[in-house]
Every structure is written in C-alpha cells, then in structure tokens.
Structure 1
C-alpha cells in the first residue's frame, strides 16, 4: 500500500498535539506500509522520521485548495491528513480526513495570538455545523481519535462518510518510574492555557493543598501568565515553567504525585496517557472522554468543585493508594501504542481504497 501522510502541520522547533500525532503515526505506519510524507518546510524534517517526503505548498497557502495536483504525481493508493482542511480539488486518489474533537463548537473563541480576521472566521465557522459537514464529506473516510468524538460526530450528523478510529498514543521513549522511590508533593499540568482548560480552578484549589506545589509546564504569554498569577491564593505554591523539554517533562513525571487537569473539554487528553505510561497517577475532570481514555485508572473530580479535586489529590498521600493508581495507570496505558494506531490507519486506508471512486485498485 502506497500511503501518503500529510505532515505539514509538524512544528519546526517542538511538537504540539497534532505535530506529535503525525510523527508518531508516520514512524509506526512506515513499518507496515510504503509511506511518503508531505512537508512544506525542510526544517520539519528534524522532528519527523526518516522516510521519503515530497515538499509541497503550505496548508495555509492560497494554493491549498489545489494541493492535490501536487500530490497526484506520487500516484498514491490513499492519502491521510491529520486535519480536515486539506485541499482535494482535482485529486486522483482516495483521501482520509481527520476531525480530532468538537471543542470549539462549545468554546468557539480562537486563541488570542491569532490575527483578528482569523479569530473572527474561526468563531463564525463554529456557530453552525454545515461548514464542517462540507469539509468532511469530501473524504472517502473520516478518522478521529476517540469513540467519544465519533459519537458526537454521529449525533450532530457531521459526515455521511465512514468514521474510523486512529488513536493517539504516548511516545515509547519513557521508562516506567520506580514506584519505590520518594514521591514529591508536586502536581503537574501539561497543556495550553486557553479558557476552556480551566487552569484557574486548579490554581484556586491549591489553597486546600498547602503541602503541594502545582507546576504549570507549557509555554505561556506574559498577558495570560499575569491573569493566572492574580488567581494564586495567598501562600499557595504555583510554579510557571514557560515550556519544558521532553527530557525535563519525563523527569518531572517520574517524581511527581500526579498529573492533573480540570479541563472542561478535550478531544483525547494525550498528557493523561503520557503520565499513565510511566506509572504516574492522574487526577482529572469527570467527563466522557477521560472516562474512555483512563477508565478506572484515574481519580475523577467535578471541574467546578475545588474541594472535590483537592480530596482526590489528598487520597494519593496514602502510599498504598498511590501505588494502586500507579499500577492501574500502567495497565491502562498499555492499551495504547503507535503500532496499534498504525494498524488502525492501514485498515481505514484499505476501507477508503475499497469504497472510493478515485481508487486505482
């Protein structure tokens, strides 16, 4: 199978969620299929596996609607995009498009760092469902990362196409932590600081956890940091890291009490799986997607109840309880791997080939 994977959303300095998802899929899928990746910047190769590639126009280029004409020369059996916005006019191949989540229908405001016209377009796009339907119905099959999102897509009739699961997974680089080692009274948050992430409640809850430190790991703007610093209760210990390397992240995960989040919406929650894969307990929002991803390996809390969150964290001060959830985390994380995701992708690609009018097979 000649499978082309769109890697143009790969960052050039460090991975974000889409970038890491793409790189993980490419590396694993290249073991079982003939993979060529699309890039638009040679610097992207530093964060991607060593597989053949074609340099084409950027996904934000005015040429995007016609990008299929550049891809046709590869004569692929099928093309997979980790986004739903890839141009498809003039294509001579089956295509799989991806929708990760429906977060921005509930929280339609775009990140503040984007230019105002893009923010307005983003907001208006997510006021109704028909633009999304138009995007997804161009595909021969649609991928998503969770059964929760697939269910929401069916509920809102976002596509007439077959929906297949191509799961996210943690990197395979981190070893399981030593459960006999000393556990530091630290809580880690890894993720963005957009409003729906509800980091304010995490910070305010630290007034109930005077023996713990909350470490906010991701990069953050000065304006947003000032907003969150104003929420820190007197005497609470909250540390802003402003971004960490993969090595620093792994070291922090190997020592902390738990990874925590009270996000109100998620499409998957990769930091949960990353933490669980090394045997770190997680304390998270009680909502369907986290129930699907973590099952009984997590401690769950109401995102609006600081006391309930603090109580779940305090349970982990009992060493036996901590070890129990560390074991559960490892067992559950074992259900996720890039090799499994690659097999899911190849199966979905075969479906697209079998059902596409653009298939050469």
Structure 2
C-alpha cells in the first residue's frame, strides 16, 4: 500500500493537530510492503526515522496552483493508493482516493467567528468530505456532528482518539523549575489559544473580579499584563509535565472541542481537572473531572473555592494511547484501500 500523508501542518511549537500528526507517524504499524511518503516543510520541522517512512521536503506554498499541480503529479507518478490529510486541508484535485481527518466542526458551530473566505472554504470542504474514501475524527461527539453536517452522502467515519505520551507522569517538587519560570507556590493552569471557543474570557473575567484567587498561569496565549495572571509564552515542550505537576489543577473552560488533550495530560500528571460541562469532556474525561457551567464565572469561582487540592487517583489517560491511534488509523487505511 502506497500512502502519502500531508504533514505540512508540522510547525513548532506543536499545536493540537501537529501533535496528532507527529504521533500518528510515530505509531503507524506499517507492513514491510507499505510505503508512506510524508510531506513536510523542512524549515519548520525536523524529520525523524520510522519504519517505512520517507520524508518529502516541500518548499512551495500549501495553497497555490503550482503546489496543487506538483502534488497531483507526485501522486500520479508514484501510483499512490491513498492520500491522507490530517488537518482541515484538501487539495482541489487528486488522482487517487483520499482520507481527511476532521477533528471537530467548530467552523460550523461558530461560523460567525470566521471570515467570509473561511466560510466559503468550509462550504467547499463539505463537498470534498462527501467525496472522500473515508473520514477520521477524534471523538464520538465529533462523529455525530460530522454525520449530521454531511447528511446521507457522508462516507465511512472512523473514531480514532488521541493519546497521552509516556513522559506525562507526576513529578516531584522542583524549586529550580519554579524559579526558572517565576512560578508561585500555588497556581491554577490554563492551556489554550486565544480563539473564542477556548473561552479564556471567562477566566479573565473571574480573575479580574476575584483578586484573592491563586495565580492563574496560562500557556499558549499572546503576551498578557493582567493582575493575578501569569503567561508563559515560551515554555519548552519537555517542561509540560513539570508545569502540570506543580499546579493546583487545570481549568478547561472551552465552549466546544473536538477532543481535549490538556485535561488528559493533567490527569496523567496526577492533578485534578475542572472542566466545562460540555458533551465531549464528559465522553473523554467521564467521572475523573469536576464540571462547571462555562457561561458562569460565579459557578467556576464556587467550584474553585470549594475545591480541595487532592491528587487525582483516577487516571483515564491510561485508556488513551497514541499506539491505539496508529493501529486504528492503519486499519482504516486498509479498509479504504480494499474498498
């Protein structure tokens, strides 16, 4: 089986889709007769060795007519059997069957937050998704949303959940780590970007109102200068387990998600999670998190003040592995190839 994986989304620092893509490559159980070509930007990511993988440096722009033509010719000349895009990108013309990973439908659920061109692109992507050999997604909640979005023309949709890397484990107190990042003795943690569905405005509002709460440490946001909030824009990836382990707990206030990886990583590091009361968090976290109304700062404040800083004994992160992602995705490749 000859497969091309479009990994041009691999750009440091690795966001959610990039981490999904990297771990997928590392965990695909390729057979000796398989060939996987991985397209990537060499200036943005360092390739690594894996059985059956050939890295293809791609210098051109992702969205350009010339790049589309070069990709089409590469797929045709190498008689590729399947093309897989692990992000929300699909070339306009392909000479072989294709698979898309649709992590969520936030662009549909919150269309008003996107530009006209974005909405136009996603309307076009809807048509391409219906023509795909198959679709991958990361939760049952997302699968049901995608089925509704695509209607009766939807192809097969496989759920392949994300995983937690082995180095996410509880760490002992590290004063040097605290000193290096200027961390206070007690802090709550938020990991996410500035997009509206991440709902950072809830935390911002609460910490501006309740000045006696422990410091809120944020990761992934632009520079902030707010009382009681400490932003870490440059934390090294390998330091994440330390950051989790030293926190009182993680707050995940999202209004919607496709999966939600930071809460699982936090639980794996032994700290509690306060999560928004939304369907996907209940699916992924089950009873291991405490839930709050993501539209109510007062409800979150009450949960924080009632909260007892206890190390989490339940670790549902153990049920999620990148190895499972690789094996289920590979099995889906085989089914689409045989169809």
In which range does the TM-score fall when normalised by the shorter chain? Answer: 0.7 to 0.9
Query: Equivalent residue of 2:294, what SS?
Result: coil
TM-score (norm: length of structure 1): 0.80
CA offset at residue 48 of structure 1?
5.0
Gaps of 5+ in 1: 112-118, 356-361
* 1:192-341 equivalence runs, <5 A: 192-206=193-207, 207-208=209-210, 210-220=212-222, 225=224, 237-317=228-308, 319=309, 322-323=310-311, 326-328=312-314, 330=315, 332-341=316-325
Structure 1: distance between partners of 2:261 and 2:140: 15
Q: Which deviations, in whole Å up to 9, do the C-alpha atoms of 1:267-294 show, x marking residues without a partner?
A: 1111112212222221111001111111
Q: Which deviations, in whole Å up to 9, do the C-alpha atoms of 1:276-326 show, x marking residues without a partner?
A: 222222111100111111111111110111121122223432x5xx23xx1
Contact 1:59 1:86 in 2 (8 A): no
Counterpart of 2:74 in structure 1 is: 70
Query: Equivalent residue of 2:254, what SS?
Result: coil
Shift in alpha-carbon separation, 1:196–1:287, aligned structure 2, 3 A: same
Structure 2: distance between partners of 1:36 and 1:350: 13
Counterpart of 1:54 in structure 2 is: 56
CA offset at residue 100 of structure 1?
1.1
Structure 2: distance between partners of 1:122 and 1:35: 34
How many pairs were matched up?
A: 323
Counterpart of 1:105 in structure 2 is: 108
Structure 1: distance between partners of 2:301 and 2:163: 28
Query: Equivalent residue of 1:267, what SS?
Result: coil
Gaps of 5+ in 2: 176-183
Q: Which deviations, in whole Å up to 9, do the C-alpha atoms of 1:116-169 show, x marking residues without a partner?
A: xxx43014445xxx5332120231011111110100111223552000112222
Structure 1: distance between partners of 2:161 and 2:150: 21
Structure 1: distance between partners of 2:124 and 2:144: 19
Q: Which deviations, in whole Å up to 9, do the C-alpha atoms of 1:158-215 show, x marking residues without a partner?
A: 5520001122222332233459x9x953111111012222212112223447241101
TM-score (norm: length of structure 2): 0.85
CA offset at residue 62 of structure 1?
2.2
Counterpart of 2:99 in structure 1 is: 96
- Displaced runs of 4 or more, over 4 A: 30-33, 47-50
Query: Equivalent residue of 1:5, what SS?
Result: strand
Contact 1:188 1:214 in 2 (8 A): yes
Structure 2: distance between partners of 1:217 and 1:84: 24
Shift in alpha-carbon separation, 1:178–1:251, aligned structure 2, 3 A: closer
Structure 1: distance between partners of 2:10 and 2:244: 25
Shift in alpha-carbon separation, 1:64–1:86, aligned structure 2, 3 A: farther
CA offset at residue 35 of structure 1?
5.1
Query: Equivalent residue of 2:166, what SS?
Result: coil
Counterpart of 1:114 in structure 2 is: none
Query: Equivalent residue of 2:46, what SS?
Result: helix
Structure 1: distance between partners of 2:171 and 2:196: 32
Query: Equivalent residue of 1:143, what SS?
Result: strand
Root mean square deviation, CA, Å: 2.7
Is 2:186 the counterpart of 1:175? no
Structure 2: distance between partners of 1:307 and 1:269: 23
Shift in alpha-carbon separation, 1:15–1:347, aligned structure 2, 3 A: same
Counterpart of 2:28 in structure 1 is: 29
